[in-house]
Amino acid sequence: MTRRRWIADEVQGDTAALTGEHALHLSRVLRAQLNQEFDIATGEAVRRGIITSISETRVEFALGEEQRLPKAPQLTLVLAIFKFDRLEWAIEKCTELGVSRIIPVVAHRTDTHLANAAEKRRERWRRLALQASEQSRRAGPPEITAPIELKDLCGAGVPLAQGVKIVLSENENDTRLRDVLNPTMSQVTLAVGPEGGWTADELHLFRDSGWTAASLGETILRAETAAIVATALALDATR
């Protein structure tokens, strides 16, 4: 039987703990009991955890053996900021799929009020990513960086992993995403535009910064759909 996985709030040696809402959910909603077993992600490994004490504010575990985890490609998702409900759907689903880092970007077509409010939503995005990571049995949540301007991203304002950098463009007719990816790639960065897509000037900025333009096909997808589809294709092609 597959054990439920939790990402520990505290780890010290061979003990770990869930606190706050984490502990409340496990103790009150799931009615966990002493000596019950779960998988506990510690940030460095996933280990078997046995509950040694439990309350509504704190659940403690004794940690046992480590689990062997498959090595996954490192996928960074540069996500232009668009309507928050749809953006959060993309963050949740791309987290479940296995994206390792999400960089929210203010694009030319990002609404001003969304750009101004984005930093205040960052903590909510982190909580959503944590919940999605536990639901999908990840070893840890993706990093979600502070929102930045596209010019700062392309100007090395945020260090990107070595590897291929791909910007999705509905105007690209010659190159599909699947043409650019292969199993030898261990690090990939994907950029997904806002509603209405990237502007011509933004695409020129990407190309001047060493990015490769690719499309997902002939149909025009919503931004959140494009992010999910591209993430799934990239992770599948590079495994």
- Domain check: are 193 and 125 in the same one? yes
Per residue, the 3-state secondary structure of 170-194, as one string, reads CCCCCCEHHHHCCCCCCEEEEEECC
- Domain check: are 59 and 157 in the same one? no
- Domain check: are 134 and 18 in the same one? no
Report the CATH number that the domain containing residue 179 is assigned in CATH. 3.40.1280.10
Q: What is the pLDDT of residue 159?
A: 67
Query: Taking 60 as the threshold, does the pLDDT of residue 3 lie above it?
Result: yes
- Domain check: are 109 and 146 in the same one? yes
The answer to whether 198 touches 169, Cβ cutoff 8 Å, is yes
Q: Which domain holds residue 38?
A: 5-66
166 - beta bridge partners?
190, 212
Total domain count for the chain? Answer: 2
- Domain check: are 52 and 140 in the same one? no
pLDDT in tens, 31-69: 999 999 999 999 878 999 999 999 999 999 999 999 877
Q: What is the pLDDT of residue 183?
A: 86
Report the CATH number that the domain containing residue 43 is assigned in CATH. 2.40.240.20
Q: Of the candidates 95, 105, 81, which has an alpha carbon nearest to the alpha carbon of residue 7? A: 95
- Domain check: are 25 and 127 in the same one? no
pLDDT in tens, 162-217: 789 999 998 898 899 999 998 888 899 999 999 999 999 999 999 999 999 999 98
Angle at 24 (CA atoms; ends 39, 55), nearest 5 degrees: 85
Q: What is the pLDDT of residue 68?
A: 79
Backbone angles phi, psi at 150, to 5 degrees: -60, -40
Q: What is the mean pLDDT of the chain?
A: 92
Band of residue 156 on the pLDDT scale cut at 50, 70, 90: low
Q: Which tokens in the block code for residue 232?
A: 């799934």
Q: How far apart are the C-alpha atoms of 164 and 39, rounded to whole Å?
A: 34
Per residue, the 3-state secondary structure of 40-61, as one string, reads EECCCCEEEEEEEEECCCEEEE
pTM for the predicted model, two decimal places: 0.86
